[in-house]
């Protein structure tokens, strides 16, 4: 892209944020269509299952020998007879991989691979109703993907953890079709996340793939939540897509005796407000209501909860009442074999452990987790912190990096804006202070607020201490967040456990304070004295002392999400015999063994 165009886009982004405008369905990914809300509630054909794949280190399927894009790349996949024509690849005789999955744990040769893999899947299509429109939907592909249907490019997407879809009505055929996807998970400096991070760069088509069918004019997006500051006014919008843009829309919530009709404008948009007295969603009673949205041509059903989330001084209020967020941080990594989560049972195992721990809250770090995880958390009564991978030091001055981060933020919000469980949008983790970073993050924060004012904004900050033992947070971004969250590692990266007893805290902001991370490493089954690092005893002692510090020497704390539920793979963790490629700060090992610290935290939560 020419730098002038980049500059204009960057200025446009900023202008949109400054004006506080909602960038309706902001799009930075080319050839994609606005996200369809709640795909699991539509008529879908799953395209999960076996896909053939080719490992393409040199990207010969995309570029010719002059390294320019080849119009006859692998996506064409023509049938040749090998006598009159040749081709140097063949999907149909290539190995198969189960999708969704990460490729690293599916094929030992791909464990450390970062590069391009091509996937192909054949499927039969029978139109379910004449005149329907069809979309290809991907829950997530890590990281850079190009999608082709029947040899034609239909979309591309950047960003490894958010969904995207593209209309394929005109390319889809009755009978056999084939979809080819080029997936590239190479890390690069301007990406989000960037080159450097403390989790595993699983590549592949990591979430559900579906063909979604909708009527010619359909309900593409909607928001149905309590109006900010109200417990008895449900508000939101409906956005249609299709030629019959002006139509009557009905929203019904039978259990609340709500039935409201409205007219969409010439752009297919209608906003609404309706009086209702819902039983409010909470951790102890995660009440959800059937919500039906109907137009002459379409109907969508969803289950939606209603709650308020606000702050008052240093407190967080759920439904108007102070609440302490008893949390745990979680990576989207499967228990027992440690790969990217690819089914509901794996989500459930993690959430069951969080429940056993006594949590009412989960920090889903460091990127948006799969949609089913969020829905499951909601049904189980967990409040959720949802985060984009703006992590450590990314390119704060690069307009493309901003556009990418902003797009991931938008896709995260669009997907989950009806989930009552999501109470916090987090825009960053442990980022270094500086003007460019402050501008980047404050713009993200303003945009998140403009897109959704029914949740709180936070980010995981770092300490700026007042003295070696007087710990504090001083961050210009404090003006732009609702909750001051801090990752801190006294007893691990900062001194040994004895230091924890010597520190106290002074945080001057009149906003709720959360400890978004603390912890230390321990090898499950490795025992020793309380001061012997890597033992379960050391980690347990770190927890005991930190929890005591929170009780006695921190100004009121509104919640915590210690690091982390389960040991997870990280290429930064190289210590043989101890780490072996895993971050060992889990309360539970990667094999599912609970460490002593699990009991320590469980006991503290029991009395909280």
Binding site for ligand GCB (CB under 6 A): 198, 366, 429-430, 487, 517, 563, 583, 585
Q: What is the DSSP letter of 181?
A: E
Q: How far is the CB of 119 from ligand GCB (least distance, A)?
A: 29
- Closer residue to ligand GCB, CB minimum distance, 487 or 597: 487
Cα-based distances in Å from 377 to 348, 353, 372, 485, 575: 9, 12, 8, 21, 34
Q: Are 522 and 529 in contact (CB under 8 A)?
A: no
Locate 200 and state its tokens. 């595993």
- Closer residue to ligand GCB, CB minimum distance, 357 or 461: 461
397-401, long-range: CB within 8 Å, 24+ apart, which pairs?
A: 397/436, 398/190, 399/6, 399/7, 399/9, 399/10, 399/13, 400/1, 400/6, 400/190, 401/190, 401/191, 401/192
- Closer residue to ligand GCB, CB minimum distance, 160 or 305: 160
Locate 568 and state its tokens. 């997870």
Q: How far is the CB of 489 from ligand GCB (least distance, A)?
A: 7
Q: How far is the CB of 565 from ligand GCB (least distance, A)?
A: 12
- Closer residue to ligand GCB, CB minimum distance, 236 or 389: 389
Q: Are 360 and 559 in contact (CB under 8 A)?
A: no
Q: How far is the CB of 70 from ligand GCB (least distance, A)?
A: 39
Q: Are 357 and 363 in contact (CB under 8 A)?
A: no
Q: How far is the CB of 531 from ligand GCB (least distance, A)?
A: 20
Q: How far is the CB of 56 from ligand GCB (least distance, A)?
A: 31
Q: How far is the CB of 587 from ligand GCB (least distance, A)?
A: 13
- Closer residue to ligand GCB, CB minimum distance, 226 or 564: 564
- Closer residue to ligand GCB, CB minimum distance, 160 or 242: 160
Locate 110 and state its tokens. 């791909």
Radius of gyration for the alpha carbons in the chain, expressed in angstroms and rounded: 25
Backbone angles phi, psi at 249, to 5 degrees: -120, 140
- Closer residue to ligand GCB, CB minimum distance, 70 or 462: 462
Give the side-chain half-sphere CA count within 13 A for 407: 26
What are the counts of helices (DSSP H) followed by strands (DSSP E) for the chain?
8, 34
CB atoms within 10 A of CB 260: 15
The residue of the chain with the least Cβ separation from ligand GCB equals 198
Q: What is the layout of strands, in order, in the sheet containing 116-125?
A: 96-99, 49-55, 116-125, 175-184, 144-149, 152-158
- Closer residue to ligand GCB, CB minimum distance, 375 or 585: 585
Locate 148 and state its tokens. 């082709």
- Closer residue to ligand GCB, CB minimum distance, 298 or 517: 517
Q: How far is the CB of 506 from ligand GCB (least distance, A)?
A: 21
Q: How far is the CB of 438 from ligand GCB (least distance, A)?
A: 19
For residue 303, what are the β-bridge partners? 290
């Amino acid at each position: 892209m020419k730098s002038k165009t980049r500059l204009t886009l960057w200025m446009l982004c900023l202008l949109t944020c400054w004006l506080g405008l909602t960038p309706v369905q902001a799009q930075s990914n080319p050839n994609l269509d606005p996200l369809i809300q709640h795909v699991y509630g539509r008529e879908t054909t799953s395209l999960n299952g076996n896909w053939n794949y080719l490992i393409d280190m040199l990207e010969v399927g995309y570029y010719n020998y002059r390294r320019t894009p080849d119009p006859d790349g692998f996506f064409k996949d023509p049938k040749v007879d090998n006598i009159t024509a040749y081709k140097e690849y063949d999907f149909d005789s290539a190995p198969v991989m189960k999708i969704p999955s990460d490729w690293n744990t599916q094929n030992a040769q791909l464990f450390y691979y970062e590069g391009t893999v091509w996937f192909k899947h054949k499927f039969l299509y029978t139109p379910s109703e004449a005149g329907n429109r069809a979309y290809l939907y991907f829950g997530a592909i890590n990281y850079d993907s190009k999608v082709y249907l029947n040899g034609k490019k239909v979309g591309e997407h950047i960003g490894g953890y958010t969904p995207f879809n593209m209309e394929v009505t005109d390319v889809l055929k009755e009978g056999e079709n084939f979809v080819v996807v080029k997936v590239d998970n190479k890390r690069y400096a301007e990406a989000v996340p960037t080159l450097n991070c403390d989790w595993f760069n699983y590549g592949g088509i990591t979430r559900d793939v579906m063909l979604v069918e909708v009527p010619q004019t359909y309900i593409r997006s909607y928001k149905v939540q309590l109006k900010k500051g109200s417990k008895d006014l449900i508000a939101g919008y409906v956005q249609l897509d299709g030629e019959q843009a002006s139509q009557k829309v009905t929203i019904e919530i039978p259990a609340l005796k709500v039935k409201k009709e409205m007219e969409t404008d010439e752009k297919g948009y209608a906003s609404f407000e309706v009086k209702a007295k819902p039983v409010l969603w909470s951790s102890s009673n995660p009440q959800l209501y059937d919500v039906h949205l109907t137009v002459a041509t379409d109907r969508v059903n969803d289950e939606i909860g209603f709650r308020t989330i606000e702050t008052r001084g240093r407190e967080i209020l759920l439904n108007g009442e102070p609440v302490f967020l008893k949390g745990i941080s979680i990576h989207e990594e499967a228990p027992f074999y440690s790969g990217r989560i690819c089914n509901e049972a794996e989500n459930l195992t993690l959430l069951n452990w969080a429940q056993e721990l006594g949590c009412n809250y989960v920090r889903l770090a460091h990127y948006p987790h799969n949609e089913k995880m969020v829905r499951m958390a909601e049904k189980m009564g967990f409040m959720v912190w949802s985060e984009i991978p703006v992590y450590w030091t990314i390119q704060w001055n690069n307009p493309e990096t901003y556009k990418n981060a902003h797009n991931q933020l938008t896709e995260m919000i669009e997907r989950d804006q009806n989930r009552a469980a999501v109470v916090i949008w987090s825009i960053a983790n442990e980022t270094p202070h500086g003007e460019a970073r402050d501008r980047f993050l404050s713009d993200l924060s303003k945009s998140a607020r403009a897109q959704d004012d029914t949740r709180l904004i936070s980010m995981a900050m770092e300490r700026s201490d007042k003295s070696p033992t007087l710990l504090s947070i001083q961050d210009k971004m404090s003006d732009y967040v609702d909750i001051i969250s801090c990752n801190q590692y006294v007893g691990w990266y900062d001194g040994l456990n004895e230091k924890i007893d010597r520190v106290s805290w002074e945080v001057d902001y009149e906003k709720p304070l959360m400890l978004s991370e603390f912890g230390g490493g321990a090898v499950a089954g490795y025992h020793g004295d309380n001061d012997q690092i890597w033992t379960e005893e050391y980690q347990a002692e770190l927890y005991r002392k930190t929890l005591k510090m929170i009780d006695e020497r921190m100004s009121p704390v509104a919640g915590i999400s210690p690091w982390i539920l389960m040991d997870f793979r990280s290429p930064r963790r190289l210590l043989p015999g101890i780490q072996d490629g895993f971050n060992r700060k889990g309360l539970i090992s990667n094999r599912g063994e609970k460490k002593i610290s699990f009991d320590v935290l469980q006991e503290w939560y029991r009395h909280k």
